[in-house]
Structure 1
């Protein structure tokens, strides 16, 4: 099994309301993907409540049966639509992929 973890930091120029809306939209759109992408086994999206500057705002954890399945998920058109939105509201992201 492959775990794919991504942490996102939203743009600082977003107001508190815009940030909350963006975080909730990211969560809803990411959690809607499993029925659309067979290679996506599980999705978990967490919204940060830690106010420190070191904290990221949103974390995504997905699982896949293989590295190939992770690649198929990443390139899938439905995932790419969500990525377009995410890229419009984030300033930074970090990624870790590993085999369990």
Structure 2
């Protein structure tokens, strides 16, 4: 059973330049996990480009082998480094996971 893992964040920065830099940094750090974290098949990160006043700012879309791979991903040391990078740059986080 493949697992899809989505996370969305609202950025903390208020100025456009910092928000863009933070979004790019988050994307770069997360996408670097592909090939590093076992069971992580694919991962992409997208910044919101429409209706910024109503929508969340960034979304992570990932695919993992199974629920065990998702659990391992969440505690993988390289993922935890990215978490520490992301935390000070965001104000809110929401996620959803489902089997396909």
- Same-fold call, TM > 0.5? yes
Structure 2 counterpart of 1:90: 90
Structure 2 counterpart of 1:62: 62
State how many pairs are aligned. Answer: 99
TM-score normalised by the chain length of structure 1? 0.93
**TM-fit CA distance, 1:50:** 1.3
**TM-fit CA distance, 1:15:** 1.8
Segments of structure 2 that go 5 or more residues without pairing to the other structure are none
Structure 1 counterpart of 2:35: 35
**TM-fit CA distance, 1:89:** 0.4
Segments of structure 1 that go 5 or more residues without pairing to the other structure are none
**TM-fit CA distance, 1:48:** 0.7
CA RMSD, Structure 1 to Structure 2 (Å): 1.0
TM-score normalised by the chain length of structure 2? 0.93
